[in-house]
Amino acid sequence: MKVLIVMGTRPEAIKFAPLIREIRKDDFFELLVCATGQHREMLNQVLDFFEIKPDVDLNLMREDQTVTDIIGGVLTGLNSVFDSYLPEIVFVQGDTSTAFAGALAAFYRKIKVAHVEAGLRSGNLLSPFPEEANRKLISVIADYHFAPTPYSAKALNNEGYHDNIWIVGNTVIDALHSGLKIIEQRKFDFTQEFKQVDFSKRIILLTAHRRESFGEPLERICEAILEIKRDFDDVEIVYPVHLNPAVRGLVFKLLSKKSGIHLINPLDYARLIWLMEKSYLIMTDSGGIQEEGPSLGKPILVMREVTERVEGIEAGTAVLVGTSKEKIQQCLKDLLTNKNGAYSKMAQAANPYGDGTASRKILEILKGLN
């Protein structure tokens, strides 16, 4: 079976890495990997870590590129890829502009589309933007829906999709297990790179960069962090700050040069999962971390008003705190003072996002259909 995997961002590369590994081990499949270059440096970091070399690179990234630029470039670029490779199935992942454009390009050529991480929904078309619209539009096009959880499969059912839906778990868990094994095998130790952090204290890892958090919401998050640090001397906060000036300017204004709060540059995948494993709890507005944290037994505070990953909330691995300063503070205090209660309950809750075998399941399903 001739398979084309299309990816353009760091999250896509992470979640496709284990699938690529499994496909390359299976003689039933012939694989071509296409990178669009929607992101460049961050994508390459992941590809290098997992030792993946794209067969085709559309090299689309431009300064000040728009969503329209990305989608137009992917549509045009993939057309020539289809001419030379003639895939039977195009794989897209998640909800990026690359994923939507890749699915649309395949649809125009009547090539089957497999959607990995299908069925995620926030219920608000503008949050996250444009991802919620992207994933809904991909569902219209997709021939195969690989849903991570029963909840995401049900979301597809509720929209009228009933055929070719399989619950397989999320490939991000496959990637996490694989990534930690690579770190162990290669004997990576990043302690010296984080020598300013006192690891004898409890580490709170913080990531916040979404558009919805710009301005006052991010300011409230920073204020909550400042007060928690004043109240808990045995806590260190590590914040890899996104390079976007809208994030960086505000965060450094409010949190720089504060004792026990470490503002660092964005981390590559290896360093991020290494630091996640060493953290006591994680505060995030990221999607993937909501899924990865529970596999490491880390309570997750989700700093978004809505989340498409409600399974973690319902399972008790995460709490949706939004960007309310008071709610963030209260939840943090509860977790930091109640280790045998609230903390252990969240840390020991079962991860609803899978057991690390999603990639293999996807390939076995496709082989069974053919």
Does residue 30 have an active-site annotation?
no
Does residue 95 have an active-site annotation?
yes
Distance between CA 328 and CA 310 in Å, rounded? 18
Does residue 117 have an active-site annotation?
yes
| Residue type present at position 154 | K
| Buried b or exposed e, range 15-45, using 16+ CB within 10 angstroms | bbbbbbbbbeeeeebebbbbbbbbbbebbbb
Distance between CA 119 and CA 138 in Å, rounded? 10
Q: From the candidates 177, 242, 248, 360, which is the catalytic residue?
A: 242
Q: From the candidates 10, 12, 22, 95, which is the catalytic residue?
A: 95
Q: Which of 161, 159, 264, 132 has its CA nearest to residue 207?
A: 264
Q: From the candidates 21, 40, 177, 211, which is the catalytic residue?
A: 211
Distance between CA 36 and CA 33 in Å, rounded? 10
Q: From the candidates 12, 22, 131, 212, which is the catalytic residue?
A: 131
Distance between CA 22 and CA 20 in Å, rounded? 5
Q: From the candidates 209, 220, 271, 309, which is the catalytic residue?
A: 209
Q: From the candidates 12, 22, 117, 292, which is the catalytic residue?
A: 117
Does residue 131 have an active-site annotation?
yes
Phi, psi of 263 (to 5 degrees): -95, 115
CB 307 within 8 A of CB 257: no
Report the catalytic residues. Answer: 95, 117, 131, 209, 211, 242
